[in-house]
Structure 1
Amino acid sequence: MTFSLTVDATKFRGRLVSVMNQYAQAGADLVPVIKGNGYGFGRANLAREASRLGASRIAIGTVWELEQALIDFAGEVVVLEPFNANDQAAKELWQRILLHGAGRVIVTVSDLDLSGVASVGAKLIFLEGKTSLNRFGLTASEISKVSNTNGLTVRGLALHLPISEPAKVIDATAEISKAVNSKKLSGRLLEIWNWIAAYQDLVAKSRYHLHISLSHVSPSDLTELKLMCKNYGYDSTFDIRIGTKLWLGESSSCKVQGSILEIHELSDHQRVGYRQVDGHGHKRLIVVSGGTAHGVALAAPNTSGSMRQRGIAIAEGVSQALGKVRSPFSYKGVNLLFAEPPHMQVSMLWSEDMSLKVGDQLICNVRSTTTNFDLVMGLD
């Protein structure tokens, strides 16, 4: 009963090195993001890959991932979700872990009152700016008011940017230089530049180092930012946090498969499954490893912004109404139909292909960030 991920380690690691080198050439340190389900590979596996890359720092999602991360990785660990003094359970966990691990943990802060994070034993922090993502963070005016750090070491400014260009047109708060025309810069770069300018004011007052930790920025954007800082006389350093584009950027290196466990030949109109569905002409039922517990057929909400996306959503809705729901499992390039919604650990599919037999593997197309595999092979 195996739902597995097989990784071509040579391709996979080649991609990691390539990404790291691109950002190194642009002048930034790579900080691998290792959170959630470990992008399907598992967080422990990715921590080992980060060590293999020579990364000195990784980023994780929440404090609930921190204890294991400190075991799996020998360098510094950034916790991306900001410290929240009102979350009592998380606060107690912070206190317990930081008692011995504070020297390797960078806590993200999005509150002007730093006494709370200091009280749990933190030593190192990032100040997070509230970007156009509008999730967490301090505003530029709030960052300028940071004064009493309660003995904490401010490692820099962290910015979490949207994937799309900022919707609001942003003007540069300060003319960058004659060498760079701010009118030709993207909204993303202008937003980052405004944050750099705001943080530089705090740096000048407090003698912090001008370090900026970024997400969703390309190597070319980074090169542009470095030039802007140089031309404006800012002594800056950057790191880039990358998760999806790092770990999932070489799709051909990964193969997801489910094992065929049973094949049943059915009579006309024989009913099957929890819902006792009629085969409607289908006479061959395939039972394959891979169900909802693995993440099969789970999908994130789609905004359906384009006409094409809306058309696909309508077509899929009509097919579902007719009982014809395509599964993510395929054979010879053709997706098989679900007999009914997937069970917790297996799926029931229709296929008339007589070449299929018990023990064969079906390819499965899944969303890696919501998938949990029984077995991950190739990263030993």
Structure 2
Amino acid sequence: MTLTLTIDTERWREHHRGVLGQYPGLVPVCKGNGYGFGHHRLMRETTRLGTGLAAVGTVQEAARAQDFYPGDLLVLTPYRNGEVSPALSDRTIRVVSSPGHCDGLAGRRVVVELRSSMRRHGITEADLHALRPVMSGWEFEGFSIHLPLNRVGGAGGAEEVASWVRRLREERMPLRQVFVSHLSAEETAGLHAEFPGTRFRLRTGTKLWLGAPKATRYTSRVLDVTRPERGRGLGAGRRQPASGPHLVVVSGGVSHGVGLRAPKTLSGLRDRARHVVGIGHACLDHHLSPFLWDGVRCRFAAPPRLQESVLLVRGGGPPPKVGDEVAAQLRYTITRPDRVVEEPQVPPAASEVR
């Protein structure tokens, strides 16, 4: 019972080197489930890149990573007074996003998060005067600004960063380095040209780890194949379709991230129309799965179980056999495979070949 992530290692690393070449001072982000690859593997690749600094999401992630990553660790979750934190090494850098939450950081390495148009957390221009008195007690590493991923209208991301840098200059704040996100290589180069005394360092995980889709793939092992008897129930209370498809049990269930969905922001008539069509299919219990056979996405026969899923594979071609591998199109940021295989090359899965 195995859901496998296979990596074409050399192609994957070639992409990493390309991103590093585009973004000098790159800061790899290794958080959550390790973008589907796991923290150990991403920290190993970060060490190979030689960036000297990696970003993690939480203090718990930092505490685990400091045992096997030799570089500095930037914790992206802002510091809060009174937080319960595991023991962290002096290689850890904390983020401050409010002048009211700075207790206990004297002598610590600190980055100040600036409020962006994302409107999440971060200090505002009005906070700068309150922040200045406590900054002198820190080992100050720089400022940080987290831009929205999808910018619609208004100023571009580079202009938003530049506006903040000009304001910080007016306040005579130290501007040795600024950590940024979701900027293109051209935008980052433009900032370096406009502010030659400041180092702009891109923090990214998606662009770095998931930017070469042909270098990685998920596959699932077929565990069982049956053809249900007419009139018998299908799955949990489902009736057998008249077309009599095969029922195929494959590895991969909710514990792996299969069948999990997040709210999505809809923009435009086409997105809304697709969403309405999806609701209609859901009302008829027609749920597309992420698994493919013969190049076609299969439907779920029943809701995914903890570690396996039951699929409907309709006629028209030979069904899969027990032991076959079927392709799976899964979100890396929520998927936890049973194993990760690194190979020089990734051959196409049998289910991807027509």
TM-score by length of 1: 0.85
**SS in structure 2 opposite 1:330?**
strand
Q: Read off the aligned partner of 1:14 and give its amino acid letter.
A: E
Matched, 1:97 2:64: no
Structure 1 209/132 Cα, relative in aligned 2: closer, same or farther at 3 Å?
closer
**Number of the residue aligned with 1:106:** 93
Which stretches of structure 1, 4 residues or more, deviate above 6 A after TM superposition? Answer: none
Matched, 1:218 2:210: no
Matched, 1:375 2:342: no
Q: Read off the aligned partner of 2:52 and give its amino acid letter.
A: S
Moved more, 333-342 or 278-287: 278-287
Distance in 1 (CA, whole Å) between partners of 2:170 and 2:298 is: 59
- CA deviations over 1:211-263 (Å, ceiling 9, x no partner): 11111111100111112114xxxx21121101111110011111101110011
1:321 to 283, 307, 313: 283
Q: Read off the aligned partner of 1:330 and give its amino acid letter.
A: L
Instruction: Flag structure 1 segments of 5+ consecutive residues without an equivalent.
Output: 170-185
Superposition RMSD in Å: 1.8
Contact 2:79 2:101 in 1 (8 A): no
Distance in 2 (CA, whole Å) between partners of 1:321 and 1:166 is: 33
Matched, 1:73 2:69: yes
**Number of the residue aligned with 1:155:** 141
Contact 2:8 2:215 in 1 (8 A): yes
Distance in 2 (CA, whole Å) between partners of 1:166 and 1:195 is: 19
Superposed displacement of residue 209, structure 1: 4.4
Distance in 2 (CA, whole Å) between partners of 1:12 and 1:372 is: 19
- CA deviations over 1:4-34 (Å, ceiling 9, x no partner): 100111111111100000112xxxx000000
Contact 1:299 1:367 in 2 (8 A): no
1:39 to 31, 35, 40: 35
Distance in 2 (CA, whole Å) between partners of 1:327 and 1:20 is: 35
Q: Read off the aligned partner of 1:163 and give its amino acid letter.
A: L
- CA deviations over 1:62-97 (Å, ceiling 9, x no partner): 112111111121010000010011xx4xx231xx42
**1:44-59 equivalences in 2 (<5 Å):** 44-59=40-55
**SS in structure 2 opposite 1:376?**
strand
**Number of the residue aligned with 2:22:** 22
Matched, 1:347 2:316: no
Q: Read off the aligned partner of 1:97 and give its amino acid letter.
A: A
Contact 1:199 1:210 in 2 (8 A): no
**SS in structure 2 opposite 1:288?**
strand
Moved more, 308-317 or 361-370: 308-317
Distance in 2 (CA, whole Å) between partners of 1:82 and 1:346 is: 37
Q: Read off the aligned partner of 1:67 and give its amino acid letter.
A: A
Distance in 2 (CA, whole Å) between partners of 1:209 and 1:191 is: 16
**Number of the residue aligned with 2:232:** 270
**1:223-262 equivalences in 2 (<5 Å):** 223-230=189-196, 235-262=197-224
**Number of the residue aligned with 2:348:** none
**SS in structure 1 opposite 2:306?**
coil
**Number of the residue aligned with 1:180:** none
Structure 1 343/260 Cα, relative in aligned 2: closer, same or farther at 3 Å?
same
Structure 1 195/36 Cα, relative in aligned 2: closer, same or farther at 3 Å?
same
Distance in 2 (CA, whole Å) between partners of 1:263 and 1:191 is: 56
Contact 1:298 1:367 in 2 (8 A): no
Moved more, 368-377 or 187-196: 187-196
Superposed displacement of residue 151, structure 1: 2.2
Superposed displacement of residue 322, structure 1: 2.1
Structure 1 322/166 Cα, relative in aligned 2: closer, same or farther at 3 Å?
closer
Contact 2:80 2:101 in 1 (8 A): no
**SS in structure 1 opposite 2:78?**
coil
Superposed displacement of residue 156, structure 1: 0.4
Distance in 2 (CA, whole Å) between partners of 1:375 and 1:6 is: 9
Q: Read off the aligned partner of 2:18 and give its amino acid letter.
A: S
Superposed displacement of residue 210, structure 1: 2.6
Q: Read off the aligned partner of 2:65 and give its amino acid letter.
A: A
- Of Structure 1 and Structure 2, the greater helix share is in 1
Moved more, 254-263 or 209-218: 209-218
Instruction: Flag structure 2 segments of 5+ consecutive residues without an equivalent.
Output: 345-354
Distance in 2 (CA, whole Å) between partners of 1:37 and 1:366 is: 13
Distance in 2 (CA, whole Å) between partners of 1:106 and 1:379 is: 35
**Number of the residue aligned with 2:262:** 300
Q: Read off the aligned partner of 2:134 and give its amino acid letter.
A: N
**Number of the residue aligned with 1:363:** 327
Q: Read off the aligned partner of 1:229 and give its amino acid letter.
A: F
Q: Read off the aligned partner of 1:60 and give its amino acid letter.
A: V
**Number of the residue aligned with 2:352:** none
**SS in structure 2 opposite 1:310?**
helix
**Number of the residue aligned with 1:2:** 2
Structure 1 323/165 Cα, relative in aligned 2: closer, same or farther at 3 Å?
closer
- CA deviations over 1:156-193 (Å, ceiling 9, x no partner): 001001112265x4xxxxxxxxxxxxxxxx53222111
**SS in structure 2 opposite 1:319?**
helix
**SS in structure 1 opposite 2:291?**
strand
Distance in 2 (CA, whole Å) between partners of 1:117 and 1:79 is: 16
